[in-house]
Structure 1
Amino acid sequence: MKTITTQIPALDKVVRICDFLSDKNGATFSQIYQGVGIAKSSTSSLLNGMVAHGLLRQDNDKYYLGLRLYEFGNKAVEQYDIKKIALPVLTALRDKTNLTCHLGVLQGSSPIYLTKLESPQAIIIRSWEGKRLSLYSSGLGKALMAHLSDDEVDALLPEDKVLTRITDTTITDIKVLKAELAEIRVRGWAYDNEEDSQGVRCIAVPVLNPQGKAIAAISTSGVAFQIPDDKREYLASLVMEAGQQLAQQLK
């Protein structure tokens, strides 16, 4: 996630520690202060305070995100009205497609799932509410990014940024990715062709406000045989219809 600096350095450090631990299965004191770049003395004081407040938990020599953050996250999602408004739209989309459906937003430099509705079929897509996604290889990430300004895209994906290859079909060339974003703006939907997870495909559309900015995105996901090439356009039309319905309700 992009580092943000405010006029409250202690708060910035707390958030940096949380960001660092968010994709780690625990970390030691040394790993945290070296990874986050905070002085030893400050790191020690911050970790002790965060443990006391339940923001972190300590197990032997390792620190983990605390359950209080989980509680805050649940409350944040509850208070995010778009989730409640989107639920009937997503439910209808799930019932029409028989596929897993998601609602997501861009948080900082990462898309994040706000809602997941499981497919009624036996195949389970490994995702969850609160999961952060790749910006450039996920359908939802590309749908959100396609309606950013050129400057905003450049800030998220500068020319020297390395796009890690996740699967055989992951786009790793920023120029190719930007060309695809232009196509997404024209056709109205994004496609993840097994780029983020081998064998899993996704169709996503942005939810646009009256100014044409993407305030959220919805997607439908399934394994490759559930979203075959000859059915992709039809499924995309259903997702686009759902995205337009949600946009109308949010006006």
Structure 2
Amino acid sequence: MGRQVPAVARALDVLELFLGGDAVLSPPEMTRRLGLPRTTVHELVSTLTARGYLVPAPDRSGGYRLGVRTYQLGSRYSEQLDLAAEGRQVAAEIARTCDETVHVAILEDADVIYIAKVDSTHAVRMVSAAGRRLPAHCTAVGKMLLAMLPRDVLDERIPPDTPLTAMTEHSITSPTVLREHLAEMRTRGIAVEDRESNPDVHCVAAPVRDSAGTVVAALSISVPTVRWDEQRTPELERLAVKGAADLSARLGHRGTP
């Protein structure tokens, strides 16, 4: 990496002040927060304003807000995002850390579709593939996504009076029991699967959000029963949350998990 240009770094520091939640800032406020000379900040603000990255705030004398140029850049970034590609990169990072299989999945009707997968290096690991479709209520990723649906949408996709299909003897078949599980998972922000889609696999999953805060996917870590250890569960849950948060950040989400 080449030498950083101080003037560019300072200009970006000015713009990144607005990530803190302030819609409008004045040069004196910028000066105080950045610890830069007053003249330097005024020169930076003048340059950013001339290029459309900042504009004077109409309702506050001496204040500035982000300009349309920042929106154009953000929109261009969003256009080039590929959830599957970004998911594979994050899944690879998490898989390297825990050496277990990591999936990213989306919800379609009452099923999940795996859009990214990175395998464990262990000889014994979960057998699956990107593109595979499974009943959402039998998987950790699916339950996480179902848990985030509005009640009316959930009732439409998982009717309260219709028994659910079982994939293993551990699958949840009662819509009432499923809703109890989903309520807990919604509160915790973590979903678990106890051999419900595969009798030899446990999973944990966390939600992935886009720039608007909408849950658009879930990331899971799958562990064969032979390596599953309840004492390891908190570590895996933490990694699932981290992976989901990292992927959310790549999609433009600014919140915290």
What is the TM-score when the length of structure 2 is the normalising length? 0.64
Could you tell me which residue of structure 2 aligns to residue 26 of structure 1? none
Provide Cα deviations, 1:193-215, integer angstroms capped at 9, x if missing partner.
00111021111111023554310
Distance in 2 of aligned mates of 1:226 and 1:139: 18
What is the TM-score when the length of structure 1 is the normalising length? 0.65
Bigger Cα displacement from structure 2, 152-161 vs 219-228: 219-228
Listed as ranges, the gaps of 5+ residues in structure 1 are 1-78
Distance in 2 of aligned mates of 1:216 and 1:127: 18
1:131 matched to 2:132? yes
Whether the 8 Å CA contact 2:104–2:219 is kept in 1: the answer is: yes
Distance in 1 of aligned mates of 2:84 and 2:121: 20
Distance in 2 of aligned mates of 1:93 and 1:203: 13
1:189 matched to 2:190? yes
Q: Which amino acid aligns with 1:154?
A: D
Provide Cα deviations, 1:78-132, integer angstroms capped at 9, x if missing partner.
x971112222211110011110111111123311011111111111312111100
Determine helix, strand or coil for the equivalent of 2:138: coil
Query: Identity of paired residues, percent?
Result: 31
Distance in 2 of aligned mates of 1:84 and 1:124: 22
Whether the 8 Å CA contact 2:109–2:157 is kept in 1: the answer is: no
Whether the 8 Å CA contact 2:192–2:204 is kept in 1: the answer is: yes
Whether the 8 Å CA contact 1:111–1:132 is kept in 2: the answer is: yes
Bigger Cα displacement from structure 2, 117-126 vs 236-245: 117-126
**CA apart distance, 1:227:** 2.6
Compute the RMSD of aligned alpha carbons: 1.6
Distance 1:146 1:229, change over 3 A: same
Determine helix, strand or coil for the equivalent of 2:135: coil
Distance 1:131 1:80, change over 3 A: farther
Could you tell me which residue of structure 1 aligns to residue 216 of structure 2? 215
Could you tell me which residue of structure 2 aligns to residue 95 of structure 1? 96
Distance in 1 of aligned mates of 2:229 and 2:143: 20
Whether the 8 Å CA contact 1:118–1:124 is kept in 2: the answer is: yes
Distance in 2 of aligned mates of 1:124 and 1:224: 10
1:121 matched to 2:114? no
**Structure 2 counterparts to residues 1-251 of structure 1, below 5 A:** 81-251=82-252
Higher Rg of the two aligned structures: 2
Whether the 8 Å CA contact 1:148–1:213 is kept in 2: the answer is: no
